[in-house]
Structure 1
Amino acid sequence: MADQAPKEPGARVATRIDPIKESLSREQMQFIRHVELEQWKKKTQKLRTRNVVTGLAIGAIVMGIYGYTFYSVSQEKIMDEMDEEAKRARLQGPKTGAN
C-alpha cells in the first residue's frame, strides 16, 4: 500500500526504502531509528498487557485446582469417618457361627 501512487495530485505517500542500498544522511538514519523505537514501544505495551492477562488466567486456574484439591481432601476425611463407623458396627454386630 505504501508503494502505490498517490490518488490526489501533489499528495505525498510514504515509500519503502532500503537503508543499506540507499545512501541516507545521518539525520535520516537517526529518524528511522527513532521511528522504529517508537513502534517497538507500542508493540511492547500490547505484549505486556497480553502477558499480564495470560499470567493472571493461568494463576487463576492453578489456584482453582489447588482449592479444589483441598476441598476434595477434606471430603475424604468424611469418607474415612464413615468407614470407621461401618467397621465398628460390623464388630459390634451379631456374631455368626462362621467365625
Structure 2
Amino acid sequence: MADKSPKSSTPFATRIDPTKEGLSQEQMNFIRQVELQQWKKKTQMLRTRNVVTGLAIGALVMGIYGYTFYSVSQERIMDEMDEEAKRARMQGPKTGAN
C-alpha cells in the first residue's frame, strides 16, 4: 500500500525574511517578480468580484426604484377610482339610510 502521508524528504516552500537572509540581488528580483505576478492575479479576481457585486447592487437599486414608481402609479389609479365612487354615491338616489 502506498503511504499517503507526505514524505519528510519532499522539499516545501518556506517563508523567509529577505532582510534577515543573505539573498543576492538576482534572488531579490525573482522574489519581486513572483510577488508582482501573484498581486496582479489577485487584483484581477477582486476586480471581477467587485464588478459582479456592483452590477448586483445596481440591479437591486433599479428594481426597487422601478417598483416604487409602479406602486405610486397604482396609488394614483386607486385615488381616481375612489373619487369616481364618491361622485357616483353623490349622484345616486337619495335614501333615508345613508
TM-score bracket relative to the smaller structure: 0.7 to 0.9
1:51-70 maps to which residues of 2 (within 5 A)? 51-70=50-69
- The one-letter amino acid paired with 1:61 is L
Deviations 1:47-81 (A, max 9, x none): 01100110111011011111111111111121011
Does residue 78 of structure 1 match 2:77? yes
The gaps in structure 2 that reach 5 residues or longer are 1-6
- The one-letter amino acid paired with 2:36 is L
Matches of 1:87 and 1:57 in 2, distance apart?
45
Could you state the TM-score of these two structures normalised by the residue count of structure 1? 0.79
Partner of 1:92: 91
Partner of 2:18: 19
Q: Say what the alpha-carbon RMSD is for the aligned residues.
A: 2.0
Deviations 1:32-59 (A, max 9, x none): 1111000000000110110011011101
Q: Percent identity?
A: 82
> 3-state DSSP class of the match of 1:46?
helix
Partner of 1:39: 38
The gaps in structure 1 that reach 5 residues or longer are none
Matches of 1:14 and 1:90 in 2, distance apart?
87
Could you state the TM-score of these two structures normalised by the residue count of structure 2? 0.80
The offset of 1:28, in angstroms, is 1.1
